[in-house]
Amino acid sequence: MRNEETRNLGTPAIRFKNVEVKVKRKRVLADVSFEIEAGCLAGLLGPNGAGKSTLMRLMTGLMVPDRGDVELFGRPADPSRLGEVSFLPDRGQLPAHLTAGEWLGFAARLYPDWDGAREAELAEKLGVERSKRIGSLSRGEEARLQLLTCLSRQAPLIILDEPFTGVDLLSRERIASAVVGDMADGRRTFLIATHDIREMEQLFDRIVLIGDGTIRGSYEVDELRSSGRSVESCYREVFA
């Protein structure tokens, strides 16, 4: 668990209350309620098609629920709050004709909260080559550039949807601890949807499990460990 003194234990960073979403008359989220405390690094875990990406899109305010409320830091999620949210979408596409360096220069002008010093430090850690054209990047290289873009902002809430898609095993481990773990100092809140449970397990403060559009449980990872369980064993118990 992060340092309690730096965690805001008051208003939750994320709050879903009785949220329902239908897409083409199919119920994708049903009566979803959970909270993530500010300063926490939380994992959103669940099988394919469980509703993780839908839930994350609701937080950007770019999608609205059919029922229920989504709040960030005590106020309704809304597109006007995108300045507070750094979002890495699951199928985001960067402009293929730009080089990585040109894209980063554009992003620095686009986002008022861009941190140039952090960008330089993370570019090194993530091994991003500025001269490469985005259209010529491999999936894993593009994923690193997406992560760099997202983490170079100072937004208080960071939402990452499958940040490691295409990234090789050893790099996933290194990026998880040296990049995400280092930044999770209790001052910002992370929600990360991932299937890479083993690499992320040590970093999570909380996990929220979702299956078939409903919340299957929300657990403090310290409490899980003190009852002799791991994130992976809990996932298996719930979804096996």
Ligand X SMILES: Nc1ncnc2c1ncn2[C@@H]1O[C@H](COP(=O)(O)OP(=O)(O)OP(=O)(O)O)[C@@H](O)[C@H]1O
Among 4, 10, 24, 112, binds ligand X (CB under 6 A): 24
Burial class (CB in 10 A: 0-12, 13-18, 19+), 95: exposed
Q: Within 10 Å of residue 84's Cβ, how many Cβ atoms?
A: 15
Residue labelled with tokens 């805001």:
8
* Using rule CB under 6 A, residue 91 touches ligand X: no
Is 143 one of the binding residues for ligand X (CB under 6 A)?
A: no
Residue 65 engages ligand X in binding (rule: CB under 6 A)? no
163 makes contact with ligand X (CB under 6 A): no
- Nearer to ligand X by C-beta: 128 or 192? 192
Q: Is residue 92 close enough to count as binding ligand X by CB under 6 A?
A: no
For tokens 């100072």, the residue is: 154
Which among 22-30, 60-68, 95-103, 200-208 is the span making contact with ligand X, rule CB under 6 A? Answer: 22-30
Among 12, 39, 46, 186, binds ligand X (CB under 6 A): 46
Stretch that binds ligand X, among 8-16, 44-52, 67-75, 226-234 (CB under 6 A): 44-52
Judged by CB under 6 A, the residue of 20, 35, 84, 90 near ligand X is 90
User: Quick one: which of 13, 14, 19, 28 contacts ligand X (CB under 6 A)?
Assistant: 28
Closest contact distance (angstroms) between CB of 47 and ligand X is 7
Closer of 59 and 107 to ligand X (Cβ): 59
Interaction of residue 60 with ligand X, rule CB under 6 A = no
Residue 213 Cβ, how far from ligand X at the closest point, in Å?
7
Residues that bind ligand X in the complex, under the rule CB under 6 A: 23-24, 28, 46, 48-54, 90
